[in-house]
A and B are shown apart, each in its own frame.
Chain A
């Protein structure tokens, strides 16, 4: 199931919330969350839900063993099982295809559909086992609580990658108060709107352009397509994180922030401190630093981390290329750190944004011939010229959306919210000012929910030239 669906918003979520708050005691509340989380996952993966439970069981079990017997063997075994699982379900087809091509073999390519969210929950489970080994967290003795950690539906299928250490205390005891819940609702509505009102529309335009015939695509329209994809991927992903964090707040979980306005970064190094933070910090703490970090063979470490980061995003060579692309840029930025600092700031921003967009273009095309051709069009070596009437109509049709998305990537919305908050600030928490703040926020939430609902219903709009029986 996904958050941005009518069935989630109007049936699943209210039922879950009502039951959660109606039942007394942490144990029953946790049970509600586990049942609904498994339902949530089974909705999209009626078979692989078994895999999810099995993965939780394996890591819970190894955590118990490691608690009794601090042997490296058990840790290695757990890691091999986790990554092996990921290798089978995510990369088997890719590996076999490449082996076939490389060694001229004829092994049948296994057709395994990717279990939704496997990359996320494998990493979550893994972080727990490693942290138990490192002595950073205590062993979770209750399987149910561990299953709750791995399967919790707000962050189950698209992150943030929550570490066990982040939520350890909240497994047993969670304090929820009304203002926290209210914040969660607001955060959820904002994420929903980012996803439904910005990302989905930007995505439609991006697909329309990027999936088109390149021979009839102009340079300008392809850049528009890449820009729209740049918007889509940010609002989609960060919107999802917002919804996860918001839902977390409703149930009393605190999740780490995952995005901090990545497109205002001044360098790619800066960008990666702001983009999918829970992933980059995972690779930092569990791969980069164990490899030696900044202390020894730093470029080798970077190359490993970025190849893995690329591969994590998908089993296809363009993702590897995408990771390698960032490795190269990050290395250059590291080598010329002082010189880059002297470049005027606006130039830094523009260049960074361009590099990010080029990165997303690599990310988009899994087909290498399409990828190459897209670059030829982007830089004017192919396609239907720089611009034409179609391009102008496309630009016109999407102008308001592009402007709104652009504003959404800057600190402006936050600044507006903050200054409104400051305006209503009052030491007396019961004051009229404070109440105005709450009510205005609430109306804003309802408005976003209503608009998102309209757009979600609208997305099922499917007109036909003829009557379709």
Chain B
């Protein structure tokens, strides 16, 4: 018996220690493809970081992020999650989780993705330096802070859990630009129903009002010669979710109505909602991605033309192309859960419509409009390795992108998050110059500054178009970026 105990206990200890040794000496991954994120890097030691606790908490998330066999263990975890996120015995595929998408903090651009892909294939060096320098730019921190807090809260007894979680993060941390997790958590849920995943926003009237006021301020800053056109679009949750998720505080129609009602009369408001509602049976939203399809954007565009006094180009006039097998962001977001499998097995198809007019476009890292990089308004030949096909529209989210079109027409600025990307190609039929700006890429730590009033004057614009989806009008973070464009 003694021998048996001795053997079993020794083996137990060796398993623990063996894993520990391997974890210490193995080569660390830097990027997780499964999660679409950079993994935590080994923190730099300093006494100040040690004493304020940040060094240890970073070290801990680094250790967890680079644990041996992590990818395999994550896969096992997804199997384990069949138990924790049970979907029913039949064919039902149902899931509801909190969403902390963080979309208000910035998007993804084709150039980033291609750089990343290039790095993976050959010059590992340049890619890793790109990754690590970018990792310092801030947004990656929210994840490490989160796991840090979670793991420290975890161990202490419930009695002191709340306090210790608070104490693990230094209380006097400077007001970071990123809205904290609690704000994001309040933003809504993600649900999966069958083959479709949706974001469900929750109305926060105070924030919606502040969004409307931000639009008012933008309009005022532009002066009376510039028309301000606001387009707030619903997302798929409004049309395809169970009733309780698009009624009451989840009613996107109510959010949009309220938002428009808080805007000045001067501002032109585009009723995209009605047009989309009329076409709910068409393929206007992706099922595996949180965006609308180009078709959805087209219907919004027809309403835009009505409001702004243009004649919309009929759909059949466009030359159309298709990407098959598009599995989008909602799949990635839910990929830790077994319900995502159904999404993967039922990929989306992405149709695009080419601009009618000849266009030339460049993107820029800041508003000085120097060192432009040519891009296409619609990419027709994205590599298979670019999994996010939605990046085919104006190359995804870049700080600034200027499109010149061979059409006689006015000049406009479009302020948008990624919902605007599928919309912009359509308006190339009406504007000779379109300056697309992502407000999330300016006036925050480490990012270039932009005074929109001055910029608009220089560019001599006629219209200011602001296009957003419900998560943004409910986001204090996004409203902040809008405010800062005019120095508020």
Contacts and interface: CB of A to CB of B under 8 A. Distances in A.
Does A associate with B in a complex?
yes
A213 B37 contact: no
Contacts of A469: 38, 112, 131, 134-135, 137, 139-140
Given A13-B16, A185-B12, A454-B77, A6 B157 contact: no
A158 B160 CA distance: 8
Interface stretch (A23-31, A60-68, A266-274, A456-464): A456-464
Interface in B1-47: 1-2, 4-6, 8-9, 12-13, 15-17, 19-20, 23-24, 34-38
Contact of A466 (B36, B60, B95, B160): B36
Contact of B158 (A17, A233, A390, A439): A233
Given A11-B20, A200-B154, A462-B35, A400 B248 contact: no
6 contacts: A13-B16, A313-B159, A384-B244, A393-B191, A435-B1, A467-B112
A429 B4 CA distance: 12
A454 B80 contact: yes
Nearest to A429: B1
B87 interface: yes
B154 A114 contact: no
Most buried by B among A114, A393, A396: A393
A445 B9 CA distance: 11
Contacts of B210: none
B245 A389 contact: yes
A242 interface: no
B156 A2 contact: yes
The 5 closest A-B pairs by CB, nearest first: A2-B155, A458-B77, A389-B242, A388-B244, A469-B134
A292 interface: no
Q: B-side binding surface: helix, strand, loop or mixed? A: helix
Contacts of B172: 111
Nearest to A391: B244
A10 B12 CA distance: 11
A215 B64 contact: no
Interface stretch (B49-57, B306-314, B345-353, B404-412): B49-57
A276 B349 CA distance: 57
Contacts of A460: 61, 64-65, 147
Contacts of A216: 202, 248-250
A401 interface: yes
Given A116-B167, A200-B154, A455-B80, A396 B87 contact: yes
B185 interface: yes
Interface of B: 1-2, 4-6, 8-9, 12-13, 15-17, 19-20, 23-24, 34-38, 50-51, 53, 56, 59-61, 63-65, 67, 70, 73-74, 76-78, 80-81, 83-88, 92, 94-98, 101-103, 106-108, 112-113, 116, 131, 134-135, 137, 139-140, 143, 146-147, 150-152, 154-164, 166-168, 170-172, 182, 185-186, 189, 191, 202, 242-245, 248-250, 290, 329-330, 332-336, 397, 418
B95 A397 contact: yes
A283 to B, nearest CB: 14
Contacts of A142: none
Contacts of B101: 464-465
Interface of A: 1-7, 9-11, 13-15, 17-18, 43-47, 111, 113-117, 119, 157-159, 178-179, 181-182, 185, 195, 200-201, 208, 211-213, 215-216, 232-233, 236-237, 240, 312-314, 366, 384, 388-390, 393-394, 396-401, 429-430, 434-435, 438-439, 442, 445-446, 451, 453-469
A451 B84 CA distance: 13
A366 B166 CA distance: 14
A108 B113 CA distance: 49
Given A178-B2, A201-B84, A461-B77, A467 B245 contact: no
Contact of B23 (A11, A200, A434, A456): A11
A457 B81 CA distance: 13
Contact of B81 (A43, A111, A388, A458): A458
Given A2-B152, A11-B20, A462-B146, A394 B96 contact: yes
B37 A463 contact: yes
Contact of B94 (A47, A213, A393, A453): A393
Nearest to B172: A111
Given A6-B67, A398-B86, A465-B103, A445 B12 contact: yes
Contacts of A390: 96, 189, 191, 242, 244-245
Given A17-B13, A451-B80, A459 B147 contact: yes
A389 B244 contact: yes
Contacts of A208: 97-98
Contacts of A461: 35, 74, 77, 336
